[in-house]
Structure 1
Amino acid sequence: MTGINFGDLASFVKSSRLTTQIKTDLERLTHEVASGEKSDITKAVSGDFGPLSSIERSLRTLDSYARSIAETSVFMTGVQTSLGAVSDHVSSIAPSLLTAASLGDATTLDVTAEDARARFESVVSALNTHVGGRALFSGSATHHTPLATSTEMLDSIRVDIAGLTDVNDIITAVDAWFDDVGGGFETMGYGGSATALSDFSLSDTDTTSMTIKADDPSIRELLKGFALAALAGDSGIGGPASQKTLLRTAGERLMSNEGDIARLRAQVGSSEARIEEVQLSNGAQTYAYTAAKSEIVSVDIYEAASQLTQTESQLELAYTITARLSRLNLSDFL
């Protein structure tokens, strides 16, 4: 039987096509091993990108919520920390005020009033905290600092109580400064918004809120207590009897206010717990969607690596054969 052989040109073309195919396979497998994903996604989804697009859209949504949750968590932590600092000052100064009012001499009264003034400044500073460029207690007006400084508020109160000699009248005037509509606190003390901060979105169905503002009645009460105690150190306020009355009133109010601050902190703690709960839920969903996507687009790394090694061997063999054929000459057959 007569054999049919390829001519030199046909052999060359066949060899070139084989080498090109091997190179293409090598490039594809190298990409798959490096990326862990299939190079031909269209083939992987059989031309139907609907399920994959839906998964990727869900992952993008969850990623945006993850960023929102991170920002919200930082914000709530700032609120909790600030309220914690305020609570520490209240619990520290209230007993001292009552003790000084009962047993203190003139020096103790002055020292206690000065301590109250310094703590008033610290409390206002804590409530004026900004996190990520946003004020914590200004409601929706997060670009505004919520409270005037303690010095500015005390100076404004001193204007209202100027000329008053009866300590009860002074206390009434301070109450009016903080509580009256259009009073000093509303016109210059509080610089935030009357509207609470909008809810934070945590998922498609979950939100949390931070409605505490620096004009909250509980916060006004504690500011009022610190102001009364600080004013007790003013030289024109009256004698030791007036000082003791102011310190006692301030101490009693701050003491009764501790429960309200604890309630505010518990409210924030509830939001923090909700954030953590939704974060865990979103994390589980992200894991599930990522696994589903991996089933579609990921390659078996072990199998791909084995194929890559095999393809490299094929390419090396093709080059070896080509090199040997290129060295053939007539003298080798004579």
Structure 2
Amino acid sequence: MTMISIGDLSTQFILRRHNGLLKQDMMRLTQEMTTGQKSDLADALTGDYSYLSDIQRSLSLLDGYQQSTKEAGLFTGAMQSVLGKVQDSTAQLGSDLMTATESPLPGVVRNASSAAADTFRSLVSRLNTDIAGRSLFSGVATDRAPLLDGDAMLDELRGAVAGAVTESDVLDAIDDWFHAPGGGFETTGYRGAGESLSPFQLGESQSVTVNLRADADEIRDMLRMTAVAALAGDTALGYSKDWQLNMLRRAGSEMLGAQDGFTAMRADLGFVEARVEEISTRNAAARSSLEIARSDLASADPYETATELKNVQGQLETLYTLTVRLSRLSLTDFMR
């Protein structure tokens, strides 16, 4: 009978090699148990990274869309807030003007006109609001305020009505300044761009457009009516009491009548806000699904890992026991 044996040195080398391999396996399995992720991703994917790469690409795109969605939400939300304040203040002013025209006291008329001037400055200031250094109502020209300063605009209007002979001439001059092509508002009052903001890209085939600028007809009308009331009691113009009452009454009536149109404009903006929120929710759901898919590709099964770790521990303990016994082996023991 032929026997093949190995020497002590070879035996020691083999034991060390097995010991090293088992320790490596134990470290790998311990890491997988701790992190829940496969330590050797290439082995887990059998060398095919295409699906994982596609998931990573989609997540990167969603990161960009998420930033754009946040910006769109911030922009439209700020716009809606400004327009809400503009509408509230003009609705209140319109009601106050109508009440003032019923009072026989001249001081009430002057106070109402003065309040209208304050409201005009406030409207201009609010419409000149910027967020994160970008003007809201300037179209693509977000680097500058859309409207001339309120006091400067009132000075321009005083110049426009300076030659008016009748009350009708005054109202026509103010109307032309705000609405006539090439008039004062277009050449001096509005300083923004004639082009609206570029669409916000919120998804691969999803975008929203915000076309609202400070030169919108609804906004011009609110400014025009407020300016009429502000100039009515202007002492530098010196209009008669009848003119003042008629101008305040007309401004108040038109201001209240324009609320529906202003509400419709805000509703259109609200639709854009809702669209942004809807797409944002959809993108968040897509991100969650992709992250789960990515985790599934790289995650280690905890039960399988624990079982394998226990087996490796058993093998390592057996190896240690065998090593100890071999190290204590003597010639007498061998002969037995």
AA aligned to 1:293 is: R
Counterpart of 1:58 in structure 2 is 58
In structure 1, what is the Cα distance between the partners aligned to 2:5 and 2:113?
111
Structure 2 residue aligned with 1:263 = 264
Equivalent residue number for residue 252 of structure 1: 253
For residue 26 of structure 1, give the secondary structure of its aligned residue in structure 2: helix
Structure 1 counterpart of 2:15: 15
SS of aligned partner of 2:229 = helix
**Match for 2:225: what amino acid?**
G
Moved more, 28-37 or 93-102: 28-37
Which one-letter code corresponds to 1:140 in the other structure? V
CA distance in 2, matches of 1:303, 1:171: 85
- Measure, in 1, the Cα distance between the counterparts of 2:137 and 2:120: 17
What residue identity is the alignment partner of 2:130?
Answer: H
Q: Is the 8 A contact 2:33 2:305 kept in 1?
A: yes
Alignment deviations for residues 264-294 of structure 1 (CA, whole Å, 9 cap, x no partner): 1100111111112222222232222222222
The equivalences for 1:1-334 within 5 A come to 6-235=6-235, 236-305=237-306, 307-308=308-309, 311=312
Distance 1:52 1:234, change over 3 A: same
Contact 2:101/2:248 (CA < 8 Å) preserved in 1? yes
Look up the SS of the partner of 2:17 in the other structure.
Answer: helix
Shift of 1:312: 5.9
Task: Say which is worse superposed, 307-316 or 67-76, in terms of deviation.
Answer: 307-316
Distance 2:143 2:239 in 1: 41
Cα 1:320–1:255, aligned 2, differ >3 Å: closer, same or farther?
A: farther
Aligned pairs, how many? 331
**Amino acid aligned to 1:204:** E
TM-score calculated relative to the size of structure 2? 0.89
Moved more, 165-174 or 198-207: 165-174
TM-score, normalisation: structure 1: 0.89
Once the two structures are overlaid, the 10-residue window that deviates more, 27-36 or 191-200, is 27-36
Structure 1 position 72, deviation (Å): 0.8
How far, CA to CA, are the matches of 1:291 and 1:130 in structure 2?
39
Q: 1:187 to 1:321 in 2, by over 3 A?
A: farther
Separation of aligned partners in 2, 1:120 and 1:135: 19
- Consecutive unaligned residues of structure 1, counting only runs of 5 or more, are none
- Does the CA contact (< 8 Å) of 2:233 and 2:239 recur in 1? no
- Rounded Cα–Cα distance in structure 2 between residues aligned with 1:211 and 1:20: 69
Render the CA deviation track for 1:285-314: whole Å, top value 9, x for unaligned: 222222222222211234435545665676
Is the alpha carbon distance of 1:180 and 1:18 closer, same or farther for their aligned partners in structure 2, counting shifts above 3 Å? same
Mapped partners of 1:83, 1:319: distance in 2: 79
Give the distance between the partners of 1:329 and 1:311, measured in 2 at CA.
26
Q: Which moved more, 1:99-108 or 1:209-218?
A: 99-108
Contact 1:218 1:260 in 2 (8 A): yes
State the alpha-carbon separation in 2 of the partners of residues 148 and 53 from structure 1. Answer: 52
1:200–1:6 CA distance, 2 compared to 1 (3 A): same
- The 1-side partners of 2:123 and 2:319 are apart by 80
What SS class does the counterpart of residue 102 from structure 1 fall into? coil
In structure 2, C-alpha distance between the alignment counterparts of 1:33 and 1:189, rounded to whole Å: 68
- In structure 2, what residue type is equivalent to 1:147? L
Amino acid across the alignment from 1:32: E
CA distance in 1, matches of 2:6, 2:35: 41
Q: What SS does the corresponding residue of 1:202 show, helix, strand or coil? A: strand
CA distance in structure 2 between the aligned counterparts of 1:145 and 1:104, rounded to whole angstroms? 41
User: 2:37 is paired with a residue of what secondary structure?
Assistant: coil
d(CA) in 2 for partners of 1:27 and 1:111? 83
> Aligned AA for 2:278?
E
Q: What is the CA distance between 1:244 and its match in structure 2?
A: 1.1
CA–CA distance in 1 between the matches of 2:20 and 2:165? 102
RMSD: 2.6
**Percentage identity across aligned positions?**
37
Change (3 A) 1:316 1:67: farther
